[in-house]
């Protein structure tokens, strides 16, 4: 029996998504009721095609506990997102380049390495993966739930490559204080913008003009900043170190760019470099079977023209001799598959 499925977020999910957002409260998935309503509405219009320009779309996936004992329709326990393009003419992708500069004086025989920050703008920016949250009570479950809600973004990228940019970006959270304080913001950004870190982060989601208008241009020497601010530049916080490890394993690398507010590192990869995209395949199902422990498992996804548009489950599969795919009986029934139905699969180790 299938206990968990991933589907597109749909209207009516707002309150459950808000409960999930409280466990991270990020700029992509804020703990804000009005913002969550906007995010769900945009996602719904993206999947349905109501937003005609694919670069303006934003897709939200929800991981749902559909096991017995959950409410009708299941309980949302996790989420992840795809932002088709981060950086357009009306809202540039803004970052600090992190550069290494050497200085030497022969007169006094002194040699220094300086970390230098330089603000950058992109008006044709990358696709961003983000919004990954899994409810704490489900994080130690054996069903690979974190893997499911993380990997589904790459399956969707592989299935719809023409809708996304070739460069894929992941912004990771840096070390923050327990109360959410960013030492880099307090040492730098707050000196130029009279807003708290949280206020500036929220405003930047909708309007980035204040960054370009108020942030310093040119070179900023990190050595002039307090030690606690220098330490967080390009560093990954404890809560996202597992994500960093995954990204490195599948082809991402540190881009020597950081968030201009908190110094969180930016990791990037070209579409063809990401192993999970390379391993995703399209196929048509032929029949169902009773799985054994020896069978490989995969995320198995189907799409449909009406809500929820996209559904995926983790289940066993087999390649048949004719080039088709056999699917575990429980997944076949849960997804209402018929012979020759198209599916997209991403094997899970």
Domain regions of the chain by residue span: 87-123+179-279, 280-348
What is residue 70's predicted lDDT score, i.e. its pLDDT? 84
Alpha carbon distance 119, 157 (integer Å)? 29
* pLDDT value at residue 73: 85
pLDDT at 24: 72
CB 44 within 8 A of CB 307: yes
Residue 69's pLDDT is what?
78
Pairing of strands 342-348, 127-134: unpaired
59 bridge partner residues: 82
CB 149 within 8 A of CB 78: yes
280-348: CATH topology is Barwin-like endoglucanases (2.40.40)
pLDDT at 26: 74
CA–CA distance, 275 with 162 (Å, rounded to integer):
18
pLDDT at residue 306, as a whole number: 95
Chain CA centroid to CA 201, Å: 17
Kindly give the parts of the chain with pLDDT less than 50. Answer: none
pLDDT at res. 254: 97
Q: Which spans in 67-208 are helix H?
A: 145-159, 183-184, 190-192, 197-206
User: What is the pLDDT at residue 264?
Assistant: 95
Angstrom distance (rounded) from CA 201 to CA 25: 11
């Amino acid at each position: 029996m299938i206990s968990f499925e991933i589907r597109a977020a749909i209207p009516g999910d707002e309150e459950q998504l808000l409960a999930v957002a409280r466990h991270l409260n990020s700029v992509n998935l804020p703990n804000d009721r009005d913002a969550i309503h906007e995010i769900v509405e945009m996602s719904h219009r993206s999947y349905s095609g109501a937003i005609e320009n694919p670069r303006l779309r934003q897709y939200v996936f929800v991981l749902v506990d559909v096991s017995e004992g959950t409410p009708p329709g299941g309980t949302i326990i996790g989420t992840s997102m795809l932002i088709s393009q981060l950086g357009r003419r009306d809202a540039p992708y803004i970052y600090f380049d992190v550069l290494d500069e050497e200085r030497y004086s022969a007169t006094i025989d002194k040699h220094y390495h300086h970390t230098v920050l330089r603000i950058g703008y992109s008006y044709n920016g990358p696709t961003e993966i983000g919004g990954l949250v899994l409810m704490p009570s489900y994080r130690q479950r054996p069903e690979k739930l974190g893997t499911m809600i993380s990997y589904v973004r790459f399956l969707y990228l592989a299935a719809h490559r023409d809708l996304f940019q070739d460069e894929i970006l992941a912004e990771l959270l840096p070390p923050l204080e327990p109360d959410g304080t960013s030492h880099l913001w307090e040492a730098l950004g707050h000196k130029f913008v009279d807003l708290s870190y949280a206020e500036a982060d929220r405003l930047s989601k909708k309007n980035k003009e204040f960054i370009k208008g108020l942030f310093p241009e040119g070179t900023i020497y990190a050595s002039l900043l307090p030690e606690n601010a220098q330490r967080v530049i390009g560093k990954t916080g404890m809560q996202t170190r597992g994500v960093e490890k995954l990204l490195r394993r599948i082809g991402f690398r540190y881009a020597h760019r950081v968030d201009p507010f908190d110094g969180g590192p930016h990791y990037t990869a070209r579409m063809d470099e990401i192993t999970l995209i390379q391993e995703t395949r399209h196929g048509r199902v032929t029949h169902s079977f009773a799985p054994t422990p020896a069978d490989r498992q995969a995320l198995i996804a189907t799409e449909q023209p009406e809500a929820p548009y996209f559904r995926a489950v983790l289940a066993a599969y087999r390649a048949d001799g004719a080039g088709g795919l056999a699917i575990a009986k429980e997944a076949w029934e849960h997804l209402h598959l018929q012979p020759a139905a198209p599916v997209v699969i991403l094997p899970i180790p």
